[in-house]
Amino acid sequence: MTRILPGILAMAVIVVASNILVQFLFGQWLTWGAFTYPLAFLVTDVMNRVYGARDARRVVFAGFLVGVSCSMIGTQIVGEFGPLVSWRIAFGSGLAFLTAQMLDVAIFDRLRGGNWWRAPLVSTLFGSALDTALFFTIAFSAMLAFIEPGNDVSWAGEVLPLLGVGPAVPLWVSLAVADWGVKLALALIALLPFRAIVRRLGANLA
Protein backbone atom coordinates (compact mmCIF):
# COMPACT_ATOMS: atom_id res chain seq x y z
CA MET A 1 0.00 0.00 0.00
CA THR A 2 2.89 2.36 0.76
CA ARG A 3 4.09 2.38 -2.84
CA ILE A 4 0.76 3.65 -4.17
CA LEU A 5 0.33 6.26 -1.42
CA PRO A 6 1.50 9.09 -3.72
CA GLY A 7 -1.17 8.03 -6.22
CA ILE A 8 -3.83 7.97 -3.52
CA LEU A 9 -2.79 11.41 -2.28
CA ALA A 10 -2.75 12.82 -5.82
CA MET A 11 -6.19 11.38 -6.51
CA ALA A 12 -7.53 12.80 -3.24
CA VAL A 13 -6.17 16.28 -4.02
CA ILE A 14 -7.73 16.20 -7.50
CA VAL A 15 -11.11 15.05 -6.21
CA VAL A 16 -11.21 17.61 -3.39
CA ALA A 17 -10.05 20.44 -5.67
CA SER A 18 -12.61 19.50 -8.31
CA ASN A 19 -15.42 19.44 -5.75
CA ILE A 20 -14.47 22.97 -4.70
CA LEU A 21 -13.79 24.40 -8.16
CA VAL A 22 -17.04 23.04 -9.61
CA GLN A 23 -18.76 25.82 -7.65
CA PHE A 24 -17.13 28.49 -9.85
CA LEU A 25 -18.12 29.17 -13.44
CA PHE A 26 -15.69 29.39 -16.34
CA GLY A 27 -17.59 31.05 -19.16
CA GLN A 28 -21.15 29.99 -19.94
CA TRP A 29 -20.83 26.21 -20.25
CA LEU A 30 -18.08 25.12 -17.88
CA THR A 31 -16.86 25.30 -14.30
CA TRP A 32 -13.24 25.42 -13.19
CA GLY A 33 -13.67 21.88 -11.93
CA ALA A 34 -13.90 20.68 -15.53
CA PHE A 35 -10.17 21.39 -15.90
CA THR A 36 -9.00 19.55 -12.78
CA TYR A 37 -11.28 16.51 -12.63
CA PRO A 38 -9.95 14.85 -15.85
CA LEU A 39 -6.52 14.65 -14.22
CA ALA A 40 -7.94 11.74 -12.22
CA PHE A 41 -7.61 9.64 -15.38
CA LEU A 42 -3.93 10.59 -15.60
CA VAL A 43 -3.33 9.39 -12.04
CA THR A 44 -5.20 6.14 -12.69
CA ASP A 45 -3.28 5.45 -15.89
CA VAL A 46 0.11 6.15 -14.32
CA MET A 47 -0.69 3.80 -11.44
CA ASN A 48 -1.88 1.19 -13.91
CA ARG A 49 1.27 1.38 -16.03
CA VAL A 50 3.67 1.41 -13.10
CA TYR A 51 1.99 -0.95 -10.61
CA GLY A 52 -0.72 -2.79 -12.55
CA ALA A 53 -4.50 -2.91 -12.66
CA ARG A 54 -4.99 -4.17 -9.10
CA ASP A 55 -3.22 -1.23 -7.50
CA ALA A 56 -4.83 1.19 -9.94
CA ARG A 57 -8.25 -0.01 -8.74
CA ARG A 58 -7.19 0.62 -5.14
CA VAL A 59 -6.29 4.20 -6.01
CA VAL A 60 -9.63 4.62 -7.79
CA PHE A 61 -11.54 3.30 -4.80
CA ALA A 62 -9.68 5.67 -2.49
CA GLY A 63 -10.65 8.54 -4.78
CA PHE A 64 -14.24 7.33 -4.76
CA LEU A 65 -14.35 7.39 -0.96
CA VAL A 66 -12.93 10.91 -0.90
CA GLY A 67 -15.44 12.03 -3.52
CA VAL A 68 -18.37 10.54 -1.62
CA SER A 69 -17.17 12.25 1.56
CA CYS A 70 -16.96 15.61 -0.23
CA SER A 71 -20.44 15.14 -1.68
CA MET A 72 -21.92 14.24 1.71
CA ILE A 73 -20.37 17.35 3.23
CA GLY A 74 -21.71 19.42 0.34
CA THR A 75 -25.27 18.21 0.91
CA GLN A 76 -25.11 19.62 4.42
CA ILE A 77 -23.85 23.08 3.44
CA VAL A 78 -26.68 25.41 2.49
CA GLY A 79 -25.95 28.19 0.04
CA GLU A 80 -28.08 30.92 -1.49
CA PHE A 81 -30.10 28.47 -3.57
CA GLY A 82 -30.13 25.51 -1.19
CA PRO A 83 -27.58 22.75 -0.47
CA LEU A 84 -24.33 23.16 -2.41
CA VAL A 85 -24.63 19.52 -3.55
CA SER A 86 -27.99 17.87 -4.24
CA TRP A 87 -28.48 14.16 -3.66
CA ARG A 88 -28.86 13.64 -7.42
CA ILE A 89 -25.51 15.29 -8.05
CA ALA A 90 -23.90 13.34 -5.22
CA PHE A 91 -25.25 10.05 -6.56
CA GLY A 92 -24.41 10.86 -10.17
CA SER A 93 -20.92 12.03 -9.31
CA GLY A 94 -20.06 8.95 -7.27
CA LEU A 95 -21.48 6.44 -9.73
CA ALA A 96 -19.94 8.17 -12.74
CA PHE A 97 -16.51 8.38 -11.12
CA LEU A 98 -16.35 4.78 -9.98
CA THR A 99 -17.80 3.28 -13.17
CA ALA A 100 -15.74 5.39 -15.55
CA GLN A 101 -12.48 4.90 -13.68
CA MET A 102 -12.96 1.14 -13.48
CA LEU A 103 -13.66 1.07 -17.22
CA ASP A 104 -10.47 3.07 -17.75
CA VAL A 105 -8.49 0.53 -15.72
CA ALA A 106 -9.96 -2.41 -17.65
CA ILE A 107 -9.34 -0.91 -21.09
CA PHE A 108 -5.82 0.21 -20.18
CA ASP A 109 -4.98 -3.24 -18.90
CA ARG A 110 -6.25 -4.82 -22.13
CA LEU A 111 -4.18 -2.45 -24.31
CA ARG A 112 -1.04 -2.18 -22.19
CA GLY A 113 1.05 -4.23 -24.62
CA GLY A 114 0.65 -1.88 -27.59
CA ASN A 115 2.21 1.49 -28.40
CA TRP A 116 2.87 3.46 -25.20
CA TRP A 117 0.26 6.12 -25.98
CA ARG A 118 -2.59 3.82 -27.03
CA ALA A 119 -3.59 2.47 -23.61
CA PRO A 120 -3.78 5.83 -21.79
CA LEU A 121 -5.44 7.62 -24.71
CA VAL A 122 -8.10 5.03 -25.57
CA SER A 123 -8.92 4.18 -21.95
CA THR A 124 -9.28 7.86 -21.05
CA LEU A 125 -11.46 8.62 -24.08
CA PHE A 126 -13.90 5.81 -23.29
CA GLY A 127 -13.78 6.41 -19.54
CA SER A 128 -14.38 10.15 -19.84
CA ALA A 129 -17.24 9.62 -22.30
CA LEU A 130 -18.96 7.26 -19.86
CA ASP A 131 -18.25 9.60 -16.95
CA THR A 132 -19.84 12.57 -18.73
CA ALA A 133 -22.87 10.63 -19.96
CA LEU A 134 -23.62 9.10 -16.56
CA PHE A 135 -23.12 12.21 -14.47
CA PHE A 136 -25.09 14.70 -16.52
CA THR A 137 -27.92 12.27 -17.26
CA ILE A 138 -28.33 11.26 -13.62
CA ALA A 139 -27.89 14.77 -12.24
CA PHE A 140 -30.05 16.74 -14.67
CA SER A 141 -32.19 14.64 -17.01
CA ALA A 142 -35.94 15.13 -16.52
CA MET A 143 -36.40 11.37 -17.03
CA LEU A 144 -34.65 10.69 -13.72
CA ALA A 145 -36.43 13.30 -11.62
CA PHE A 146 -37.77 10.48 -9.43
CA ILE A 147 -34.31 10.12 -7.87
CA GLU A 148 -34.87 13.32 -5.92
CA PRO A 149 -38.42 14.63 -6.50
CA GLY A 150 -37.91 17.65 -4.26
CA ASN A 151 -34.94 18.90 -6.26
CA ASP A 152 -36.04 21.28 -9.01
CA VAL A 153 -33.61 21.05 -11.93
CA SER A 154 -36.03 22.43 -14.50
CA TRP A 155 -33.44 25.09 -15.33
CA ALA A 156 -31.22 22.34 -16.78
CA GLY A 157 -34.03 21.27 -19.10
CA GLU A 158 -34.41 24.68 -20.72
CA VAL A 159 -34.19 24.18 -24.48
CA LEU A 160 -31.44 26.29 -26.04
CA PRO A 161 -29.14 26.07 -29.08
CA LEU A 162 -26.35 23.55 -28.48
CA LEU A 163 -23.42 25.53 -27.07
CA GLY A 164 -25.26 28.63 -28.25
CA VAL A 165 -24.93 27.85 -31.95
CA GLY A 166 -26.22 24.34 -32.70
CA PRO A 167 -29.60 22.59 -32.74
CA ALA A 168 -32.03 23.11 -29.87
CA VAL A 169 -31.31 20.78 -26.94
CA PRO A 170 -31.79 20.87 -23.15
CA LEU A 171 -29.22 23.07 -21.41
CA TRP A 172 -27.68 20.10 -19.60
CA VAL A 173 -26.75 18.53 -22.94
CA SER A 174 -24.70 21.62 -23.83
CA LEU A 175 -23.04 21.46 -20.42
CA ALA A 176 -22.20 17.79 -21.02
CA VAL A 177 -20.81 18.40 -24.51
CA ALA A 178 -18.61 21.25 -23.27
CA ASP A 179 -17.39 19.11 -20.37
CA TRP A 180 -16.56 16.21 -22.66
CA GLY A 181 -14.71 18.53 -25.03
CA VAL A 182 -12.40 19.59 -22.21
CA LYS A 183 -11.84 15.96 -21.27
CA LEU A 184 -10.91 15.09 -24.86
CA ALA A 185 -8.42 17.94 -25.04
CA LEU A 186 -6.86 17.04 -21.71
CA ALA A 187 -6.67 13.36 -22.71
CA LEU A 188 -4.30 14.39 -25.50
CA ILE A 189 -2.34 16.89 -23.42
CA ALA A 190 -1.97 14.41 -20.56
CA LEU A 191 0.02 12.03 -22.75
CA LEU A 192 3.10 14.22 -22.22
CA PRO A 193 3.07 14.17 -18.39
CA PHE A 194 2.05 10.50 -18.50
CA ARG A 195 5.17 9.61 -20.48
CA ALA A 196 7.41 11.79 -18.30
CA ILE A 197 6.05 10.49 -14.98
CA VAL A 198 6.18 6.84 -16.02
CA ARG A 199 9.78 7.23 -17.15
CA ARG A 200 10.64 9.04 -13.95
CA LEU A 201 9.27 6.12 -11.96
CA GLY A 202 11.36 3.74 -14.04
CA ALA A 203 8.50 1.78 -15.58
CA ASN A 204 8.52 0.29 -19.06
CA LEU A 205 6.34 2.25 -21.52
CA ALA A 206 6.01 -0.68 -23.91
φ, ψ of residue 187 to 5 degrees: the values are -60, -35
Query: What is the Cα–Cα distance from 168 to 164, expressed in whole angstroms?
Result: 9
Let me know: does 92 contact 181? Beta carbons within 8 Å: no
Residue 87 falls inside a structural domain: yes
Over pLDDT 70: what percentage of the chain? 97
Tell me how crowded residue 91 is: count the other CB atoms within 10 A of its CB.
18
pLDDT at site 74: 81
Residue 192 falls inside a structural domain: yes
Residue 205 falls inside a structural domain: no
Residue 64 falls inside a structural domain: yes
Residues 154, 158, 182, 143: is their CA dihedral positive or negative?
A: positive
pLDDT at site 109: 96
pLDDT at site 150: 85
- Encode pLDDT of 33-47 as tens digits: 999 999 999 999 999
Q: What domain range includes position 175?
A: 2-200
178: left (phi over 0), alpha (psi -120 to 50) or beta: alpha
Residue 206 falls inside a structural domain: no
Q: How confident is the model at residue 206 (pLDDT cuts 50, 70, 90)?
A: low
Q: How confident is the model at residue 79 (pLDDT cuts 50, 70, 90)?
A: low
CATH number at residue 106: 1.10.1760
- Encode pLDDT of 164-187 as tens digits: 998 999 999 999 999 999 999 999
Burial tier of 167 (Cβ tally within 10 Å: 0-12, 13-18, 19+): exposed
- Encode pLDDT of 81-126 as tens digits: 666 778 899 999 999 999 999 999 999 999 998 899 999 999 999 9
- The number of folded domains in the chain is 1
Residue 59 falls inside a structural domain: yes
pTM confidence score: 0.93
Mean pLDDT of the chain: 92
DSSP secondary structure code for residue 77 in this structure: -
Residue 88 falls inside a structural domain: yes
